[in-house]
């Protein structure tokens, strides 16, 4: 009976160490397709996502010519990687629908799509200096050098 008592605490410690390791991984930029940014290891919280964008937007603008100025940028989790444009085989009923995929026309290979369910963040910067952030937890906006405010419907 004593070994069982020791296994559970060891399992909990290993699980915590694994979670800390996974959460501490830096964001990896996989690809940029016009206004779509494909990443891995994106922050989990809304504020973490917005903070990452603010810290890295200048670098993204310089390195990838990615700029939210008067336009929109979509950030996607790269997930399982690029896929071919085929109907979803995971649905119960057979279908010819490929609307679950976002395909990039700037790629000339069969594997050029990602799943739309991997959406992480959408941002839009208006001409008046107002920036909108749409994340899983809601919509936030911020005037230039102003506080970040959660939009209430």
Q: What is the pLDDT of residues 115-130, one digit of tens each?
A: 998 999 999 988 788 8
- The DSSP annotation for 118-153 comes to GEEEEEEE-TTS-EEEEETTEEEEE-TTS-EEE---
Which is higher by pLDDT, 99 or 77? 77
Confidence category of residue 134, pLDDT binned at 50, 70, 90? very high
Whole-structure pTM over 0.75, yes or no? Answer: yes
Please report the pLDDT score of residue 56 as a whole number: 92
Report the share of the chain in percent with pLDDT over 90: 42
Please report the pLDDT score of residue 41 as a whole number: 93
Confidence category of residue 70, pLDDT binned at 50, 70, 90? low
Whether the CB-CB separation of 133 and 140 falls below 8 Å is answered with yes
Confidence category of residue 40, pLDDT binned at 50, 70, 90? very high
Whether the CB-CB separation of 150 and 138 falls below 8 Å is answered with yes
Q: What would the mean pLDDT of 15-42 be, rounded to a whole number?
A: 84
Name the residue ranges covered by the structural domains of the chain. Answer: 26-150
Residue with tokens 């206004």: 35
> CA–CA separation, 56 vs 26, rounded Å?
12
- DSSP H stretches of helix in the chain: 2-23, 46-64
Please report the pLDDT score of residue 67 as a whole number: 63
Please report the pLDDT score of residue 137 as a whole number: 82
């Amino acid at each position: 009976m004593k070994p069982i008592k020791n296994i559970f605490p060891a399992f909990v410690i290993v699980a915590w160490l694994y979670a800390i390791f996974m959460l501490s991984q830096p964001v990896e930029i996989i690809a940029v397709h016009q206004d779509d940014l494909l990443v891995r290891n994106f922050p989990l919280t809304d504020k973490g996502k917005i903070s990452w964008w603010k810290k890295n937007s200048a670098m993204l603008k310089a390195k990838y010519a990615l700029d939210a100025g008067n336009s929109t940028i979509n950030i996607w989790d790269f997930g399982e990687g690029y896929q071919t444009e085929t109907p979803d085989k995971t649905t119960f009923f057979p279908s010819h629908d490929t609307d679950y995929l976002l395909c990039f026309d700037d790629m000339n290979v069969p594997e050029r799509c990602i799943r739309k369910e991997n959406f992480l963040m959408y941002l839009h910067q208006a001409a008046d200096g107002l920036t909108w952030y749409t994340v899983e937890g809601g919509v936030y906006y911020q005037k230039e050098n102003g506080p970040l405010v959660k939009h209430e419907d």
